[in-house]
Amino acid sequence: QGNIRVFCRVRPLLPEERERQRGLPHLHFPPQDARSLSQVGRERRAELRYDFSFDRVFPPGASQQEIFREIQLLVQVCASQNPQNPT
């Protein structure tokens, strides 16, 4: 109780987005830090950079299994504390 965890999942691009944007070059996922995400400026302001920190960042290639493994205990605790949950 009292703890808030913030996760970020960047979804994979849709096929039409992949063609239009040519990937996600403006997003950077540091390989050694699964808690950070950086966005660099696009178009006119390429020098801008924004750094974000989360409890965990899941890049577009993250599988459902990988994400569930990370939040599995949290989901089980929340489900068991819900008195209206029939399970």
> What backbone phi and psi angles, to 5 degrees, belong to 11?
-75, 155
The tens digit of pLDDT for each residue in 27-51 reads: 888 888 999 998 887 666 667 888 9
Of all residues in the chain, the percent with pLDDT exceeding 90 is 26
pLDDT beneath 70: ranges in the chain: 1-2, 22-23, 42-46, 82-87
Can you give the pLDDT at residue 75?
74
- CB contact set of 3 (below 8 Å; sequence gap of 6+): none
- CB contact set of 5 (below 8 Å; sequence gap of 6+): 55, 56, 74
Q: Domain ranges in the chain?
A: 7-81
Can you give the pLDDT at residue 45?
65
pTM above 0.85, yes or no: no
